[in-house]
Amino acid sequence: MEGNVDGLVPLEIDEEAPRLEASAPLLEPGAPSDLELMQGIQQGDPDALSELYDRYNGIIKALILRVIHNEAEAEDLLQEIFMEIWNQAKNFSAQKGKPLGWMVTLARRRAIDGLRKKQAYARAEERLQSETEQQPDAWVHNTTETEITRGDTRELIRKVIVSLPLPQQQAVELAFFQGMSQREIAAKTNTPLGTVKTRLELGLKKIYDGLKELRHEL
């Protein structure tokens, strides 16, 4: 149970801490960086898109699947998203963040839009409900997978996430992967709005702080 974490706790912000960054998969020596690939795409190089696709299609598809829970729709959206990356690359600015962050932001928005446009929201909600009943949180499930080796970035990030109390995980899950507002989460979980807000704020802060620590370890 969440216990006293529902109350806001004093926040300790280290303004001198290094910039928060999650780590992308390790690249082979000599391989172009994500930024170099984005610059290639901006210059109209299809091979750069091809390489970026090889590098991240699995992550982007996993994100889409987490939102819409439908394999065929996920494949369609994946294609649309990489097409949008190709078309919108000119809008990417390295000063505002990393290529993966830009792609994930774009993919998440498209996936949530797609979910709503196709009026699949109710059906996905039922599936999510079913999954939630069977397994409180897929993040928890994923941490037990043996193929993920110690030191793997993904595992480290999951460790940060699964260290949250379940109600916080659930609130973050519903907000990030289902695009729900605080009010929608409150209604879905039959929880007071103020509690939902606190859970989200605490959950996100812990993940943010955890990532900063993780950054020191990598």
Partner 1 sequence: MSFEEFQNRSRLYVIGALEPDEIDAFEEARKQFGQKAEDFISECYALHEAFALSLKPAKSSAALKDKLMSMVREKQQR
Positions touching partner 1 (CB under 8 A) are 11, 13, 19-24, 44, 46, 49-50, 53-54, 57-63, 65-66, 74-75, 78-79, 82-83, 86, 96-98, 100-101, 104-105, 107-108, 139, 142, 145, 148, 153-154, 157-158, 160-161, 175-177, 179-183, 197, 200-201, 204-205, 207-208, 211
> Please, what is the minimum distance in Å from the beta carbon of residue 119 to partner 1?
20
Which of 120, 148 has the CB closer to partner 1? 148
Which residue reads 């932001």 in tokens?
105
> Please, what is the minimum distance in Å from the beta carbon of residue 6 to partner 1?
15
Distance CA 20, CA 24 (A): 13
3-state secondary structure of 202: helix
* Angle at 76 (CA atoms; ends 182, 84), nearest 5 degrees: 75
> Please, what is the minimum distance in Å from the beta carbon of residue 77 to partner 1?
11
Phi, psi of 111 (to 5 degrees): -65, -45
Distance CA 122, CA 17 (A): 42
Which of 129, 181 has the CB closer to partner 1? 181
Say how many CA atoms lie within 13 Å of 38 toward its Cβ: 21
Which of 166, 204 has the CB closer to partner 1? 204
